[in-house]
Amino acid sequence: MSEAGGRGCGSPVPQRAPWSLVAATAAICLVSATSVWTAGAEPMSREEKQKLGNQVLEMFDHAYGNYMEHAYPADELMPLTCRGRVRGQEPSRGDVDDALGKFSLTLIDSLDTLVVLNKTKEFEDAVRKVLRDVNLDNDVVVSVFETNIRVLGGLLGGHSLAIMLKEKGEYMQWYNDELLQMAKQLGYKLLPAFNTTSGLPYPRINLKFGIRKPEARTGTETDTCTACAGTLILEFAALSRFTGATIFEEYARKALDFLWEKRQRSSNLVGVTINIHTGDWVRKDSGVGAGIDSYYEYLLKAYVLLGDDSFLERFNTHYDAIMRYISQPPLLLDVHIHKPMLNARTWMDALLAFFPGLQVLKGDIRPAIETHEMLYQVIKKHNFLPEAFTTDFRVHWAQHPLRPEFAESTYFLYKATGDPYYLEVGKTLIENLNKYARVPCGFAAMKDVRTGSHEDRMDSFFLAEMFKYLYLLFADKEDIIFDIEDYIFTTEAHLLPLWLSTTNQSISKKNTSSEYTELDDSNFDWTCPNTQILFPNDPLYAQSIREPLKNVVDKSCPRGIIRVEESFRSGAKPPLRARDFMATNPEHLEILKKMGVSLIHLKDGRVQLVQHAIQAASSIDAEDGLRFMQEMIELSSQQQKEQQLPPRAVQIVSHPFFGRVVLTAGPAQFGLDLSKHKETRGFVASSKPYNGCSELTNPEAVMGKIALIQRGQCMFAEKARNIQNAGAIGGIVIDDNEGSSSDTAPLFQMAGDGKDTDDIKIPMLFLFSKEGSIILDAIREYEEVEVLLSDKAKDRDPEMENEEQPSSENDSQNQSAEQISSSSQEVDLVDQESSEENSLNSHPESLSPADMDNAASISPSEQTSNPTENHETTNLNGECTDLDNQLQEQSETEEDSNPNVSWGKKVQPIDSILADWNEDIEAFEMMEKDEL
């Protein structure tokens, strides 16, 4: 997307973009203002930028080197177990695995990154390996979308830079379009997916057998996500234009045409999933994140690459709708396509972090700065962007798979504003990656940003995108061996040359202008801020936009607040008490309606309550509604506290781990509560008998240590008593179901045995088999293994770190400690009719296993709470004043709890963790479906 770098918009009048010779009305730009910055954040010296660029190179080497050494030719590296992830050999993770086609995914996805990072020799080697080793004809079912953006895009990006290098005359002189031939072969393999009446592709295809044949094991799907069907045009058009085979571009255009036809005509929005046969919207919620994101991105970029006005008109029409309904700066909130004034959910997903970057390309800088700033504050709070977070910035889904979208937007905002603030943002990203995600064998995704625990996963996009954007952020023109501005970035950050716009343009362009909504001029007010005029007049432009948002996360006080405490304290009660409410009682529903409270039946069986004061029958009813909602919030948060415990962390602190590997552990309902007490640190020893179900025969071995016990044969509490009697200072129960892992199974808490468990004083944690074997393997290899049991991983031992880490890491700034979260304001209920089924399906661990372990699932409570708010919604959080006080108290204690200062300080209040954890579980089920 440097595609416009510095050349797009020189005046407020939309200009012809120089790269797009056929584009007539481009109001598109990526403004470059690096030279006009004059004040604001301190400029960063050339030396500092180079140092950071070198740090990015070193990090890339660590990730790529470990992949090549320990995983290649597998698709991905598993950085905790230091081996390759081979589909079929690891427990299935569901849809996420559909990216893996046994085609050395990470190598292909990394190709053009190697050139951007100036590793031309390594690129040449990598291309040879791809040509020698990669087989595209495997009997494996893959995602059409992922295969297109990562593999087809990777091959085309590799080809684009291979021919560039060949032309320069030094490297790749032997290259004869071999990558392009592979890309074409893959293109033909994907084409059968488009064999639907709509022209929308099936979501999955078997690389060897296609769709229809019985051996294909796919082809019965009826739905696909909008992004899945609408993110093909760049790669497919490039393939057509590189090869002259027009069929690819035609198919991708047809799919886009169909999506455009199906847009909701009054709102001009699209839903998240669509039926590929009927074209009906299956999920009618609409945002700019998961499930839709790159559809919008590709409309705008297709215009840039192909110069076809119809793509720009479509994009502008959608953009107008997005800014009208979804954008609530700095937030971007999903709405319903039919009722776009109604929010569809009260949380945002991490994928939308690409949107500020796209807004820069569009030329709409202000909201880009605002949203980016909001996201940055969420990152500062949690070190990474959690997969989803609520409108009051609490964690909604705690995972973070090292996604690059925020780095992408940071890069484009820096290009647009030249504000060194964005370099500082990039520096923080680098520090956090090294500090929290770097493990001895690569970089590990975060399993839970709150505990700091890891997941055995390093996705290929981390190499394709993250390092590219971070390197480019700090690079000067002379640091890159070619002109990056001659290329467009695909959604996977693969580079396609802009000269394709004038090559092989045999596809007839549809003149569809009459179909487009007439947009008023305000749509174009958002385009092309002219940096020549803008920044010299106001060099603090970006800073002045960020300033009011400075405390948007910490001082989150949702909009539309009506303070209800007064009336609440006066003793008035709503006509319907929260504890009596039943979602199946028609009378109750009638009362709710009167009070302006609406019920949203969520797909997973829960019911969400939202109050719109203006929809109440009278102001008295509106007040009753507020009280009802307030009661419901209190009731549900009470239930959460009663029922749920947050996950814990087991951190391996001895050589060679030094705290870098953090495992997600289930808590126990008995024994020492790690969130209230200092963590427990000790060497581990296996108990004998290993199941810990009788008096230990090796008390001398476990005395003063943390005992390892296998799950099964008796109650968890009995095991705890036996190891405690033998003198253990803690216990880790390891699952006896071989291959189980927190990657694939929901965590649960270990329940007591129904008796009084106050006699158990030591902390007990649960690890699934895979995480447990990381400790067992370490014992085999290093004998002495020391671990830390805690509620949140602590920073690595600084002394050890000095010995082990590259010096750059030691420069890391102190990270501010986790901050208190505000309390919930929205209410989700489990639909009484479906709750039982839902709970059993989602959390099979809640069933008592036959082995007699009494496992209680950490599952969403039957009445749980989430924050809510929307344009007209009355938000029920009357707690801003209290919250401010809490925040102040929190910040007063923060210095004490800075994890850099000590290993032994607790940082996050239990209530906040409880609320976060509850939402995590709920969100997991929903987000799993959205995961791309």
Catalytic residue IDs: 146, 293, 387, 405
Q: Which of 455, 492, 771, 786 binds ligand DMJ (CB under 6 A)?
A: 492
Give the CB-side neighbour count of residue 793, counting CA atoms within 13 A: 30
Distance in angstroms (rounded) separating the CA atoms of residues 224 and 202:
7
To ligand DMJ, the closest distance from the beta carbon of 181 in angstroms equals 24
Structure tokens at 334: 């999903």
Measure CA 782 to chain center.
35
Verify binding: residue 97, ligand DMJ, rule CB under 6 A: no
- Part of the chain binding ligand DMJ (CB under 6 A), chosen from 244-252, 311-319, 403-411, 882-890: 403-411
Q: Which of 491, 505, 710, 823 binds ligand DMJ (CB under 6 A)?
A: 491
The amino acid that residue 798 corresponds to is: P
To ligand DMJ, the closest distance from the beta carbon of 470 in angstroms equals 14
Give the CB-side neighbour count of residue 416, counting CA atoms within 13 A: 30
Verify binding: residue 400, ligand DMJ, rule CB under 6 A: no
C-alpha distances (whole Å) from 767 to each of 593, 644, 772, 916 are 46, 18, 6, 21
Cβ of 72: how many Cβ atoms within 10 Å?
18
- Part of the chain binding ligand DMJ (CB under 6 A), chosen from 173-181, 327-335, 400-408, 782-790: 400-408
Give the CB-side neighbour count of residue 477, counting CA atoms within 13 A: 8
Among the listed residues 39, 165, 157, 674, the one whose alpha carbon sits nearest the alpha carbon of residue 460 = 157
Distance in angstroms (rounded) separating the CA atoms of residues 226 and 275:
10
- Part of the chain binding ligand DMJ (CB under 6 A), chosen from 216-224, 401-409, 412-420, 808-816: 401-409
Verify binding: residue 461, ligand DMJ, rule CB under 6 A: yes
226 annotated binding-site participant: no
Q: Which of 136, 351, 549, 914 binds ligand DMJ (CB under 6 A)?
A: 351
Verify binding: residue 932, ligand DMJ, rule CB under 6 A: yes
Nearer to ligand DMJ, 3 or 679 (CB): 3
Query: Do 531 and 587 touch, CB atoms closer than 8 A?
Result: no
Tell me if residue 205 falls in helix, strand or coil. strand
Task: Tell me: cis bond preceding 330? Omega within 30 of 0 counts.
Answer: yes
Q: Which of 106, 198, 294, 608 binds ligand DMJ (CB under 6 A)?
A: 294
Query: Do 260 and 268 touch, CB atoms closer than 8 A?
Result: no
Nearer to ligand DMJ, 41 or 96 (CB): 96
Verify binding: residue 361, ligand DMJ, rule CB under 6 A: no
DSSP 686: E
The H or E element containing residue 438 is strand 438-439
Verify binding: residue 409, ligand DMJ, rule CB under 6 A: no
To ligand DMJ, the closest distance from the beta carbon of 883 in angstroms equals 32
Q: Tell how strand 347-349 and strand 388-390 pair up.
A: antiparallel
Nearer to ligand DMJ, 351 or 576 (CB): 351
Considering CB under 6 A, how many residues would be counted as binding ligand DMJ?
10
- Three-state SS sequence of 686-741: ECCCCCCCCCCCCHHHHCCCEEEEECCCCCHHHHHHHHHHCCCCEEEEECCCCCCC
Verify binding: residue 126, ligand DMJ, rule CB under 6 A: no
To ligand DMJ, the closest distance from the beta carbon of 146 in angstroms equals 7
Identify residues 146-165 at the interface with ligand DMJ (CB under 6 A): 149
To ligand DMJ, the closest distance from the beta carbon of 284 in angstroms equals 22
Cβ of 930: how many Cβ atoms within 10 Å?
24
Distance in angstroms (rounded) separating the CA atoms of residues 263 and 260:
5
- Could you please report the per-residue DSSP string of 521-576? THHHHTS---HHHHHHH-TTHHHHHHGGGTTTTTT---TTB---HHHHHTT---SS
Nearer to ligand DMJ, 175 or 296 (CB): 296
Distance in angstroms (rounded) separating the CA atoms of residues 255 and 232:
9
Verify binding: residue 859, ligand DMJ, rule CB under 6 A: no
Q: Which of 403, 435, 606, 719 binds ligand DMJ (CB under 6 A)?
A: 403
Verify binding: residue 489, ligand DMJ, rule CB under 6 A: no
To ligand DMJ, the closest distance from the beta carbon of 856 in angstroms equals 34
- Part of the chain binding ligand DMJ (CB under 6 A), chosen from 117-125, 397-405, 416-424, 445-453: 397-405
To ligand DMJ, the closest distance from the beta carbon of 95 in angstroms equals 13
To ligand DMJ, the closest distance from the beta carbon of 722 in angstroms equals 46
Verify binding: residue 451, ligand DMJ, rule CB under 6 A: no
Distance in angstroms (rounded) separating the CA atoms of residues 782 and 792:
25
Numbered residues of the known binding site: 491
Binding site for ligand DMJ (CB under 6 A): 149, 294, 351, 403-405, 461, 491-492, 932
